[in-house]
Amino acid sequence: MHSTWASYINEKVSGASAVVNEVEAGDQSITVDPTHLKAVCEALKNGEHEFNVLQVVSGVDYPEEQIIEVNYILASFTKNTELILKVRLPRGDENNLPKVDSVVSVWKAANFQERETYDMLGVEFVGHPDFRRILCPEDWTGFPLRKDYVVQEKYLDMVVNPVHKMNIGEREFGAKHTHIKGASTSVKNYTVEAPATSEDTSLN
Amino acid sequence: MIKMEKTSFDQEKLKTELLTINMGPQHPATHGVLRVEIKTDSEIVAEATPYLGYLHRCMEKHTEHLDYRGVIPFCDRMDYLAAMNAELGWVLTVEKMLGTEVPERAQTLRIMIAELQRIASHLMFFGTYAIDLGAFSPFLYAFQDREFILRLFEELSGARLLYNYIWLGGVWNDINDEQLSRLENWLPELEENIKKYHALVGENKIFIGRTANVSIVSKEMAFDYGATGPVLRGSGVDWDLRKKRPYAGYEKYDFDVIKGEGLKGTLGDCWDRYYVRMMEMHESIKIIKQCLAGIEEGPVMGKVSKIVKPPKGEIYLRTECPRGELGYHLVSDGTKNPYRVKVKSSCFTHTSMLPDMAPGLMIADFVAAIGSIDIVLGEVDR
């Protein structure tokens, strides 16, 4: 099924270079070239395979490869099929966010989904009609679902993650946590020393 | 004789402008902490912009630091009115990745529990929707029946709302014969009650006046926004994952898919979405009856290794929850923590429809529109 779709994409959109990703477990997926994403989506929606619904846009961060992958999970409610369409974008930095074309004009469902992906992973969707954060406050800094995200210490003069509100388990977990080599983890703040016992009782 | 002077202002130069009103975040009709900024032209809504995130806990980030079993209670806390269904979706996703076999009795029990939860959730919808439209007593009726289900769940899992009951490989606790017979004896009463409630509210002239022909969602619009569940079926689309892509053993059960027919007004109006949910409860009762007839003796937990490490890869699995399709996109890197979990929430999708549903409605009808898509803000914000 996936190879049919991949050859269909390559036939309709020249330069899309669709490749099927073979996996040992779970679902297969198709990777396409980011610059042709919109044309690919249009072909998939309006063509013979009728992917009429965009289910979700899901970003995944791979700091080791310096790549952010955006998954567009499409479904056809007429042919009862499902497809994970991937684009791989260079990760960039704070001033130079990864960019890809918005597909809001293809499916309106992309509106909120793309805003969430921007909010959580910092991917810029070019041509989005209402592009801003959706779940975090407008003035929040950083993108929480990036693997090297560190919680800001203060937000509007409020301490984020105050020490006395964390339990011992979280602190120990944070100290041991080495999910990604070479990148500071999101639980950096948890490595702070435990307060003295007398202080603990006063705060309770 | 009084001499009338000519009015000093020119009618054509009079300025009118839209009035901005904040609805929420604390508002009884927004079903939680949702803020909708509405621009009104007198009583008519011209524009509505939802602002989300007041209940955002970044569940997806938390999962990066948890093991696969530890995610189950977090799934509960998304859609707290249908926690069992959310658990089931996550557990099935991981099980499919692992290739776990679930014992027969546990499978039957899971479906039974999921359908009971669906009824509880739809009863909650019925009650709160009536409150939205100004009728208080249906809420109390709905809670009587919901209470039976919650008591049963409490006996099974120890909790009334957030259960952590469906585990990898089966369910946590077995059900006993006394509970099964109690449930069996109660089902006819529930069926009668739901019919009564529908006659009381759904066929009520005022209720029909408030919901029929209000906030119509066409089939094309539903597909464009990716709507699922009762919202999609209310627009007349015959789509139910339990039938179309059966999971957890739903293929063994016989039931009908209810869809809107535009009985009281136009196809896809608020009344149709209400109707789909009310009739779905009868279908759920049908499934539960078949479960009760077919439940076999046996273990309720299969063999799952203590440390769960799914192979490297990714998977997307969706299940039919009371509010629509809940999907989990899981990326595994072969360690004991998930690399990435993305939740496809139907409530989030349906909230994105509000700006298109609102224009042209009266403010009170906008409340009816929000109620008819039945959102739970815990799942919208995650």
| ipTM of predicted complex | 0.84
A91, A112, A139 - which closes a domain = A139
A139, A162, A187 - which closes a domain = A139
Tell me the C-alpha distance between B365 and B382, whole Å: 27
Predicted confidence (pLDDT) per residue in B203-255, tens digit: 888 899 988 888 889 999 999 998 998 999 989 898 988 888 898 889 899 99
State residue A166's pLDDT score: 64
Nearest to B58 among A26, A134, A144 (CB): A144
Confidence category of residue A187, pLDDT binned at 50, 70, 90: very low
Question: b/e map of A55-66 (b: 16 or more CB within 10 Å)?
Answer: bbbbbbbbeeee
CATH topology of domain B60-339: Cytochrome-c3 Hydrogenase; chain B (1.10.645)
State residue B101's pLDDT score: 87
In a shared domain, residues A116 and A155: no
Task: Note whether B314 contacts A29, CB cutoff 8 Å.
Answer: yes
Where in chain B are the domains? Answer: 60-339
Within 10 A of B316 (CB to CB), how many other CB atoms are there? Answer: 24
In a shared domain, residues A127 and A167: no
Tell me the C-alpha distance between B66 and B135, whole Å: 44
**Total of domains in chain A:** 2
The verdict on residue A165 lying in a domain is yes
Q: What value does the CA radius of gyration of chain A take, rounded to a whole number of Å?
A: 21
State residue B33's pLDDT score: 86
Task: Note whether B327 contacts A145, CB cutoff 8 Å.
Answer: no
CB < 8 Å to A52, chain B: 223
Lowest mean pLDDT among A2-6, A77-81, A84-88, B43-47: A2-6
Angle between helices B137-157 and B104-132 (to 10 degrees): 160
In a shared domain, residues A135 and A181: no
In a shared domain, residues A80 and A34: yes
Predicted confidence (pLDDT) per residue in B366-378, tens digit: 888 988 988 888 8
In a shared domain, residues A168 and A95: no
In a shared domain, residues A21 and A115: yes
State residue A194's pLDDT score: 46
In a shared domain, residues A102 and A159: no
pLDDT average, residue stretch A13-35:
84
State residue B305's pLDDT score: 85
In a shared domain, residues A165 and A93: no
Which of A56, A106, A166 to probe the B interface (max B CBs under 10 A)? Answer: A56
Distance from CA of A15 to the nearest CA of B (A): 26
pLDDT average, residue stretch B343-369:
90
Predicted confidence (pLDDT) per residue in A90-109, tens digit: 888 778 888 899 999 999 99
Tell me the C-alpha distance between A70 and A57, whole Å: 7
The verdict on residue A51 lying in a domain is yes
The verdict on residue A144 lying in a domain is no
Tell me the C-alpha distance between A151 and A123, whole Å: 19
Q: Which two tokens stand for residue A137?
A: 């406050």
Predicted confidence (pLDDT) per residue in A188-199, tens digit: 444 444 444 544
In a shared domain, residues A101 and A196: no
Tell me the C-alpha distance between B112 and B371, whole Å: 27
B128 closest CA partner among B375, B351, B378: B375
A87, A113, A139 - which closes a domain = A139
Tell me the C-alpha distance between B197 and B211, whole Å: 16
Boundaries of domain holding A170:
150-204
B201 closest CA partner among B105, B278, B297: B278
Nearest to B316 among A23, A25, A27 (CB): A27
- Please identify among residues 294-333 of chain B the ones whose CB lies closer than 8 Å to any CB of chain A: 310-316, 318, 325, 327, 329-332
Global pTM reads 0.86
Say if residues B369 and B351 touch (Cβ distance below 8 Å). no
Instruction: Please report, for the domain that includes residue A55, its CATH number.
Output: 3.30.460.80
DSSP string covering chain A, please?
-HHHHHHHHHHHSTT---EEE--SEE--EEE--GGGHHHHHHHHHHSTT---EEEEEEEEEETTTTEEEEEEEEEETTTTEEEEEEEEEE--BTTB--EEE--TTT-TTHHHHHHHHHHHH--EEET-TT-S-SSS-TT--S-TTSTT----SEETTEESS-GGGS-HHHHHHHHH--SSTTS--TTGGGGSPPPPHHHHHHH-
State residue A139's pLDDT score: 86
Q: Please check the confidence at residue B118 and state whether its pLDDT lies above 90.
A: yes
- In this structure, what are the phi and psi dihedrals at residue B132, rounded to the nearest 5 degrees? -55, -35
In a shared domain, residues A88 and A129: yes
Say if residues A152 and A125 touch (Cβ distance below 8 Å). no
Nearest to A145 among B61, B65, B244 (CB): B61
Distance from CA of A186 to the nearest CA of B (A): 9
In a shared domain, residues A38 and A107: yes
A158 closest CA partner among A139, A184, A172, A180: A139
